[in-house]
Amino acid sequence: MPSPSIMMGVISALVAGVAALHARVHDDTFTPDLVLSVTRQNVSVAGIERYSTLINSSLPAPMLRIPENQVVWIRVHNEMVDENVTIHWHGLAQAAYPFSDGTPLASQWPIPPKHFFDYELKTLDGTAGTYFYHAHVGFQAVTATGPLIVESAKPPPYAYDDERIVFLQELFNKTDAEVEEGLVATPLRWTGEPQSWLINGKGISSYGIVDPSSATLSVIDVEPHKAYRFRFIAATSLSYASFGFENHTNLEIIEADGHYTKVHSVEFLQMGTGQRFSTLLKTKTCDELKSFGKLDFYMQLESRDRTSVVTNYAILRYDGSKCNSTISTKDLHVPVNANPLTTPIQLPPTVNGFLDYVLQPLEPNDFPAATEVTRRIVINVQQIVNQWYAWENNGVRWTDDASDPLEHTTPSKPYLVALYQNETGYLPNYELAITNGGLDPETKTSAHVHTTGPPAAG
Ligand SMILES: *[C@@H]1O[C@H](CO)[C@@H](O)[C@H](O)[C@H]1NC(C)=O
Ligand SMILES: *[C@@H]1O[C@H](CO)[C@@H](O)[C@H](O)[C@H]1NC(C)=O
Ligand SMILES: *[C@@H]1O[C@H](CO)[C@@H](O)[C@H](O)[C@H]1NC(C)=O
Ligand SMILES: *[C@@H]1O[C@H](CO)[C@@H](O)[C@H](O)[C@H]1NC(C)=O
Ligand SMILES: *[C@@H]1O[C@H](CO)[C@@H](O)[C@H](O)[C@H]1NC(C)=O
Ligand SMILES: *[C@@H]1O[C@H](CO)[C@@H](O)[C@H](O)[C@H]1NC(C)=O
Ligand SMILES: *[C@@H]1O[C@H](CO)[C@@H](O)[C@H](O)[C@H]1NC(C)=O
């Protein structure tokens, strides 16, 4: 097992290496590969009007497709006047580019109003797949989020004709500030259920429609008799999702969280916050559509594990013109401006342990077998209910708010900034961490020891 001094050596090498990399000044003369701009504005969505944080004024934010194993620079402008922002690239390992993780007060200072930050991303070889990106300050992520696809130069290991995105979000009629205020209040004021789910940025709320023009269902267009890769992204904040298609019950999972899997067939999906799946969907043939007598099929999304169930829909729409005139008539479509009158499908109650231990990696991934484990770190995660609600890992609490009323648990500057400035007081103490279940109680960091790469912070 490496000694603490090896670990510190790795950190120094990392810091020196990063200093050399950053010799180039990122001013207005630097041309990033991609540019994003964060604003706050009133948006009308699912029939509701809400003051929301948006990336490039779009809900969801624009889809980014980045190449595997190549450096990509993304400049993020904070155009808000009264809010900080950072962007987190959900699911990407940032071992070589830790300053780009987008975690305020861990990897960086938040981007102040009217400033920008250049994120340097380089995905690892073999991690082509489905990700998303989102703002990481306050409750901004509920709307400031979009799909992120990592593409390999090699063809994917499964054949399909085309792909579609199913991007899931919640819509609350409360503002970010109201939700956040309630969640950090004493006693906690629960936000309540969302007023709607959004599928690809659209939906029809069951409550308080003030603008019927934005109350519309998403339509995902497909052609008959093709194979599609459906990329599901649960870019949700507080809700657990159950999802199914009407009359399409063979979903073949081929990817989970950015890694290809062996094929595993399911009839529906359950998705927790941050999860992604790709499934292959073989669309109906023209003959099948003819016997169904319809070209539209509902997609149904329901919340789980709460006292009330929020249900919303989207439409899988076939292009009937590919099937000769017999089936290409308009009355085979359902309206986009109304939810179905009766619930089309019966999604099962919560399946506990959904997909646990059943997905297998497509390629061997060197993951150690249980018999090869040499050290176990137990992380005891608790929501303390003692007048306050707060998440703790092994009794250590994290907050990115320096004005936290409980106690000052965060560093006064981001860890990586402090380490960059050679402040050794921020170095995780390996011995202390070992004797405290893996978490150093002084710096509030965990001491992961890597012999071949830089240590992870946070
Ligand atoms: C986001 O908007 C900016 C202009 O504000 C534009 O230059 C940029 O190309 C847009 N980014 C994407 C990914 O569409
Ligand atoms: C957003 O809408 C609210 C309520 O209608 C209004 O008070 C506020 O001025 C609007 N804000 C902006 C930036 O347009
Ligand atoms: C932005 O972040 C800085 C550093 O944490 C903090 O001092 C400041 O109050 C924040 N600004 C806003 C508007 O939240
Ligand atoms: C938000 O939605 C809830 C129903 O979920 C409703 O009771 C409440 O009045 C709504 N608030 C506003 C401001 O529309
Ligand atoms: C449409 O009709 C033409 C002529 O009968 C036939 O060749 C073709 O296969 C049909 N296409 C489909 C999708 O059924
Ligand atoms: C299609 O789905 C509907 C709604 O769940 C169901 O009533 C119907 O039996 C299904 N049709 C077939 C052929 O499976
Ligand atoms: C940190 O220490 C390294 C190695 O001694 C030195 O090269 C570097 O200039 C220092 N950085 C700062 C910000 O003081």
CA of 195 to the centre of ligand 4 (A): 8
| Number of alpha helices (DSSP H) and beta strands (DSSP E) in the chain | 5, 24
Tens-place pLDDT, residues 266-323 = 999 999 999 999 999 999 999 999 899 999 999 999 999 998 999 999 999 999 888 8
CA of 13 to the centre of ligand 1 (A): 35
Average pLDDT over residues 145-170: 97
| Helices marked H in 167-283 | 176-183
Residue with tokens 């020891």: 449
Ligand 4 and 208: CB distance under 6 A: yes
CB burial string 57-84: b at 16+ within 10 A, e below: eebbbebbebebeeebbbbbbbbbeebb
Closest CA to 219 of 114, 288, 295, 279: 295
Ligand 2 atom 14, closest CA: 42
Nearest atom in ligand 3 to the alpha carbon of residue 112 is 1
Nearest atom in ligand 5 to the alpha carbon of residue 323 is 13
Q: How far is CA 299 from CA 80, 248, 317, 331, in A?
A: 35, 9, 10, 19
Does residue 9 surpass a pLDDT of 80? no
Q: How far is CA 277 from CA 74, 232, 342, 396, 443, in A?
A: 25, 5, 28, 32, 36
Q: What is the DSSP string of 38-105?
A: EEEEEEEETTEEEEEEEETTBSSPPPEEEETTSEEEEEEEE--SS--B-EEEET---SS-GGGS--BT
**What is the per-residue pLDDT for 443?**
78
Tens-place pLDDT, residues 218-252 = 999 999 999 999 999 999 999 999 999 999 999 99
Does residue 392 surpass a pLDDT of 80? no
Q: Give the H or E element holding residue 8.
A: helix 4-21
CA of 323 to the centre of ligand 5 (A): 7
- Neighbouring C-alpha atoms within 13 Å toward the C-beta of 448: 9
Pocket of ligand 5 (CB under 6 A): 286, 322-324
**Ligand 6 pocket test target in 245, 246, 247 with most atoms within 8 Å of CB:** 247
Pocket of ligand 6 (CB under 6 A): 246-247, 344-345
What does pLDDT average to over the chain? 87
Torsion of CA 292, 293, 295, 301, to 10 degrees: -50
Tens-place pLDDT, residues 166-181 = 999 999 999 999 999 8
Tens-place pLDDT, residues 104-132 = 988 999 999 999 999 999 999 989 999 99
* Ligand nearest to the Cα of 42, by number: 2
Q: SS3 for 194?
A: coil
Confidence of residue 255 (pLDDT cuts 50, 70, 90): very high
* Ligand nearest to the Cα of 244, by number: 6
CA of 135 to the centre of ligand 1 (A): 16
Does residue 351 surpass a pLDDT of 50? yes
Torsion of CA 82, 86, 87, 93, to 10 degrees: -170
Confidence of residue 7 (pLDDT cuts 50, 70, 90): very low
CA of 310 to the centre of ligand 4 (A): 14
All structural domains of the chain with their residue ranges:
4-8+373-457, 34-332
CA of 327 to the centre of ligand 6 (A): 18
Say if CB 87 and CB 36 are below 8 A apart. Answer: yes
* Ligand nearest to the Cα of 50, by number: 2
Closest CA to 426 of 394, 398, 457, 402: 457
* Ligand nearest to the Cα of 225, by number: 5
Q: How far is CA 21 from CA 17, 97, 120, 449, in A?
A: 6, 11, 11, 24
CA R_g for the chain:
24
Q: Give the H or E element holding residue 3.
A: none
Does residue 449 surpass a pLDDT of 60? no
Say if CB 61 and CB 209 are below 8 A apart. Answer: no
Output the six-digit token pair for 434.
Answer: 């070992």
d(CA 313, CA 345): 11
d(CA 289, CA 236): 33
CA of 223 to the centre of ligand 1 (A): 31
Ligand 2 and 42: CB distance under 6 A: yes
Ligand 4 and 207: CB distance under 6 A: yes
**What is the per-residue pLDDT for 325?**
65
Q: Sheet harboring 251-256: ordered strands across?
A: 196-199, 162-171, 227-234, 276-282, 251-256, 259-266
Pocket of ligand 3 (CB under 6 A): 82-84, 109-110, 112, 402
CATH number attached to the domain at 34-332 = 2.60.40.420
pTM: 0.89
**What is the per-residue pLDDT for 395?**
73
Ligand 4 and 173: CB distance under 6 A: yes
Tens-place pLDDT, residues 52-81 = 999 999 999 999 999 999 999 999 999 999
- Residue 309 neighbours by CB under 8 Å, 6+ apart: 302, 303
